[in-house]
Amino acid sequence: MLGVDPDMWITIGDLVNKGDMRTWNSAFFIPGESMLTAKTLTSVIGNHETMDKSDENGPTTYYDYFSVPSHGYIDTDERIDPRGESYFAMDYGDVKIIGCNWNEGKDDPSFATGSKQLTWLDEQLTNADSKWIFIFAHVNVYSTSYHGQWSASQKEYIAPLLEKHALAGKHILVFGGDEHNFEHLYKAGVHYLRPGAMNGSNRDQYNMVDKPYSLMFNKIAGFSTIDVSESGEKVKLIARDRDGNEFYSYEFTRSGGLKPSLYITEPNGNNDPVTDSFKIKWSCFDPQGTAKINLYYSLDSINGTSIVTGLSSDVQAIDSYDWNVRNLQPKGDYWIYGTIDDGVNTPVRAYAKGKVSVVWDTTPPPAPSEFTGNFVDGRITLSWKNPVYEIPVNITVDDFENGITSVEGVGDSGGRGSLEEVDGYEGKALQMTYDIDKAWGEYAAVLAFEKARDFSDSPYLEFWYKGDGSSRTLRLIVKEDNDLDGNADDWWYNETLPLNSTEWKKAKIDIRTFQAFDWHPNTSKKCDALRVISLDFVVPSSAPCSGGVLALDDIAMTGLINPAPDFEATTIVRRNDRFAVDETDGEVVYDGEGECYTDSELEKATYYYAAFSRDDLKNYSAFTEAATWKYTVTTGVDGNKRVDFTVAPNPVREYVTVTFPGDSVSELSVINSQGEIVMREKLKESVTSLPVEGLSPGIYLVSVKSSGQIYNRKIVVE
């Protein structure tokens, strides 16, 4: 390091493993003597320096050894901010150097909204007239390494402030430590740099949430040099290993203003197989608000083919695109990248960190249902239902019939309690008994899943619950694991169910309507129920209480799905000796979207019909006896024909009267020449008059189903 001959050294904390005075000589002063005697050293405090003494005196030893310009007041108390030096600012040539304390320990000042430190930082950035602003803080705002998963507060409070000033024209570089590796990230006009660590405990990438912002990562041990040009218009960073060998460089310039940036957040590296559609997601930074986003796919990550062009950079209006890959060929793993183009700067290209694995859809639609037929006037008429109607879905989350071991009781902020199995609304139930020792404490029953579950087709949370007659409300929290790393990323809540009843009550709530907490930053704009990692049933209390009770039973996720969104046609195959086992095993007599078919000009024989559904890729449903029907045609005999079934007048213009003896409820369908059902009615009376003036002129089949038999008459609508 001495060989680079800098003007000064700047360290970013964790100079010793523990701040107690006994460790400083052996861990820092003696090994670093040659550096310390050669050049001036400035530092910011790390979290390890605050591990000082057990007498609550704070990190006094660090401040005994290091002295920096005071910010002019004591933040909180002398223990936390001795001499007002926990954070500082100074000018050095064309650079304003700002040292901050974002460590969040008990011996560190706050940086939350309204805090003295954040207000001070805002003022420093506002008043800075230097060409460059270098901010040094031990804890990172963005990092793909291990500690990056815990930087939610820094993202919530620090990042928006920096982005505001970057948008106002300030040139800001933020330097962090903590992770013991090198990284360069860029987001919304601000560069975030982790210049390296000389020790050997270098960490790999871990926090993939921040991966879209990372330009360069290297876990090699080393350090970085920063050179400001004589004019002050350029800054060059060179990252070096322990021996001083360069492995990365970047030149920052003041010319050209802020450039737009794009971050592809989905696909995120899971490479899940996709057959039909993939939702590409992104976030972006566009200072002018006029840039356009273009998306591309590629097998080699270089030669891209356009997916879509000209998308708005306004992420409030659009931040995703559904890419249809069903007919994309060849199948394989595709890289996704995008460009953001403001028409002024060179378009910026950004790659997703994962690929989209496009595979053939080999799943056929379900077979037709309610397949039946009858023989009238020498013709066989078949009818069925295609798999296009929405059907209910009910996914049991926990009914507690096998115990309550899947649920964990969690107390917070003075809340405590216990869980037990009790008699429920049906069978067994879960009962929470809780005490809240201080205001706004809470107790929760947490249903956590080993892996995130997709409830997008069943987003309605249904359960039975019974309160204790109190004025408290039940807080429901849905946590989503967006990057599928097993940890909750987004938190969504609903707090509308009162616990004032001691009787069982049924709840049904769409979790897609849940709201975000003000204090927890989410990566998504709303709950989409795609990657749910836990369901939390929380009882908060605004005042201390004891002996509170909440019972839960039959927790389920429900919804409606279309069982065959890719259905294209029903194929009916006929034989005279047996049922066809697949779509190729006989004569195809019908292939279409209708739900009725008439087979005419039949000879004396037995006719076997088998029905198969198919999609656009010619995936056929498997043979099932439920989709078969047979009939033996004999000479001049129609056992199903009823002379007392009449449809008159015929032809008809306005109303047709259907006469059908008997008192059983029958189902009537009117079918056009394309096999489409255009009218469906229940016949509760023996004589029913139906309006037909809404039907187009043509030939229709009036079909009545009663007691398992079907009876047909053709009518002409004029």
Closest among 574, 562, 717 to 649, alpha carbons compared: 717
Q: Pseudo-torsion of CA 382, 385, 387, 389, nearest 10°?
A: 160
Based on the domain organization, do 664 and 697 belong to the same domain? Answer: yes
pLDDT at 636 (0 to 100):
42
| pLDDT tens, residue by residue, 512-521 | 999 999 888 8
**Residue 5 domain-assigned?**
no
Q: Are residues 314 and 202 in the same domain?
A: no
Contact of 613 with 592, CB cutoff 8 Å: no
Both tokens of 558, joined, read: 């429900």
| Window from 98-107, 214-223, 708-717 with minimum mean pLDDT | 708-717
**376 and 516 co-located in one domain:** no
Kindly list the distances between the CA atom of residue 602 and the CA atoms of 42, 380, 585, 594, 633, in Å, as whole numbers in the listed order.
99, 8, 20, 22, 8
What does the alpha-carbon distance between residue 653 and residue 715 come to, in Å, rounded to a whole number? 10
Instruction: Give the bridge partners for 350, in sequence order.
Output: 338
Q: How confident is the model at residue 164 (pLDDT cuts 50, 70, 90)?
A: very high
Percent with pLDDT over 90 in the chain: 52
Same domain, 567 and 550: no
Closest residue by Cα to residue 389 from 600, 560, 557, 221: 560
Residue 11 covered by a domain: no
**Would 500 be classed as within a structural domain?**
yes
pLDDT digits (tens, 9 = 90+) for 345-356: 888 888 887 899
The continuous run of DSSP H or E covering 120 comes out as: helix 116-127
Q: What is the tally of structural domains in the chain? A: 5
Which tens digit of pLDDT belongs to each residue from 573-590?
A: 999 999 999 999 999 999
pLDDT at 202 over 70: no
Note whether 399 and 495 are same-domain residues.
yes
pLDDT confidence of 319, banded at 50, 70, 90? confident
More confident residue, 94 or 219: 94
Q: What mean pLDDT is predicted for residues 213-241?
A: 90
Which of 175, 176, 177, 221 shows the shortest CA–CA distance to 199?
221
Residue pointed to by tokens 């279409």: 592
Residue 55 clears pLDDT 60, i.e. is over it: no
CATH of the domain at 237: 3.60.21.10
- Using CA atoms, how far apart are residues 253 and 232, in angstroms rounded to an integer? 9
**Closest to 191 in 3D by CA, of 129, 254, 241:** 254
Q: Which of 532, 527, 508 is nearest to 516 (CA)?
A: 527
Residues 439, 452, single domain; the answer is yes
Higher pLDDT, 202 or 125: 125
pLDDT in tens, 238-270: 999 888 888 888 889 887 667 788 888 889 877
Domain boundary among 199, 232, 253: 253
The rounded mean pLDDT for the chain is 88
32 inside domain: no
Is residue 57 scored above 70 in pLDDT? no
CATH number of domain containing 273: 2.60.40.10
- Does residue 441 fall inside a structural domain? yes
Supply the range of the domain harboring residue 205.
71-253
Query: Residue 541 carries which side chain, given as an amino acid letter?
Result: S
Top pLDDT among 709 and 569 is at 569
User: What percentage of residues in the chain have a pLDDT greater than 70?
Assistant: 95
Considering the domain architecture, whether residues 345 and 377 belong to the same structural domain is answered as no
689: pLDDT strictly greater than 90: no
Rounded-to-integer distance, Cα 604 and Cα 154, Å: 83
**Best-predicted range by mean pLDDT (196-200, 260-264, 305-309, 636-640):** 305-309
CATH of the domain at 509: 2.60.120.430
In-domain check, residue 31: no
Domain boundary among 196, 224, 253: 253
Same domain membership, residue 243 and residue 159: yes
Boundary (domain end) residue, out of 231, 253, 275: 253
> pLDDT tens across 102-147, in order?
998 888 899 999 999 999 999 999 999 999 999 999 999 999 888 8
What is the maximum span of the chain, computed from C-alpha positions, in angstroms?
Answer: 117
Number of helices (H), then strands (E), in the chain? 6, 46
Q: DSSP secondary structure string, 345-371? A: SPPEEEEEEEEEEE----PPPPPPEEE
689, 628: one domain: no
pLDDT tens-digit series, residues 626-645:
999 999 988 543 444 455 67
Q: Which amino acid is at 66?
A: F
- Identify whether 33 is part of a domain: no
Verify that 543 and 626 share a domain, yes or no. no
Same domain, 170 and 246: yes
Within a domain: 529: yes
Instruction: Verify that 233 and 109 share a domain, yes or no.
Output: yes
